[in-house]
Structure 1
Amino acid sequence: MNVILKTERLTLRPVTIGDTETIHQLHSIEEVDQYNTLGIPENIEVTILHVKDLVKSNQGEQPQAYTFVIENDNQFDGLISLNLGRAKYKNAEVWFKLHPNFCSKGFATEALKKIISFGFNTLNLHRIEARCAIENIGSYKVLEKVGMIREAHNRKLLPLKSGWADNYVYAILSTDLR
């Protein structure tokens, strides 16, 4: 995948194997892990396998996902991904993780707006969903800022380190932006 997306302040570029160490550092931060079902990696080898999966899903004529590194001034700020569903349904699910040093600066909102636009305008998607733990106030506020609508509350769905957590489901339709 050679798709590079740009916003006023950010560059969203495809994840590469060269990002492994930085992604390992991101996934090893307790604050980032709090609402992450992936968990803190035991070692760098676990992260290598994870990054290889991300890179592989980005490849081919019909990628399964578009996973990007979020950069500001060539500095790693986090990750964002658009995971594609079955082609017939023209849907996808988005997720994002920001390094805590870059939270509350509007970067997640800016990156999410761009990837939603890419999904609807380039990939011709009909629906984009997102999910987050109900305690993850920062994430669901970002989802709401970009126009996503809360559609569901799933009980005890997420296996977090703290135990089973409830989950909100958000979605936005291509027609919502018109």
Structure 2
Amino acid sequence: GADWIHFDVMDNHYVPNLTIGPMVAAALKPHCIKPDGTKVPLDVHLMVQPVDALATAFADAGADLISFHPDASTHVDRTLQLIRSKGCAAGLVFNPATPLDVLEWVIDKVDLVLIMSVNPGFGGQSFIDSALRKTERARRLIDASGRDIRLEVDGGIKADNIRRVADAG
């Protein structure tokens, strides 16, 4: 019954944790469908370094969207082009202390922006309030671009802060 599958991939290099790989995504992909036959997007968030080889592997495994952290890619523009050339939507992920500057230079190649509201790598962390300002700024950049770019916020979202996050954009 899910409307969206968000798949976190960690490599024990970019973040200090190790999770699942392309084979699990490929095994999951046939099940990304609702009982009425509607396809459910498989959204792969890469917390890995380097990015390109795993982005390609996840595209081949059936990912619909692939996002990565700009500081994990040697050439952000090239990585975005690679992901889109594989038929996937491409996204950028910004850690709590990472500025949005790079987004202004590649927004024409971005389909998704993910603002991390915790430091990536471990679940159960508390929401970092400065993510609200970053979300507001990302929303302004997206709106100014005139493009239909999905904006996500990830980490520490709970009943007591979800309204503030939604209001931020």
Q: TM-score range by the shorter chain?
A: 0.3 to 0.5
Give the alignment's TM-score, normalised by structure 2. Answer: 0.35
Give the alignment's TM-score, normalised by structure 1. Answer: 0.34
| Structure with more relative contact order (C-alpha pairs < 8 Å, separation 6 or more) | 1
More strand by share: 1
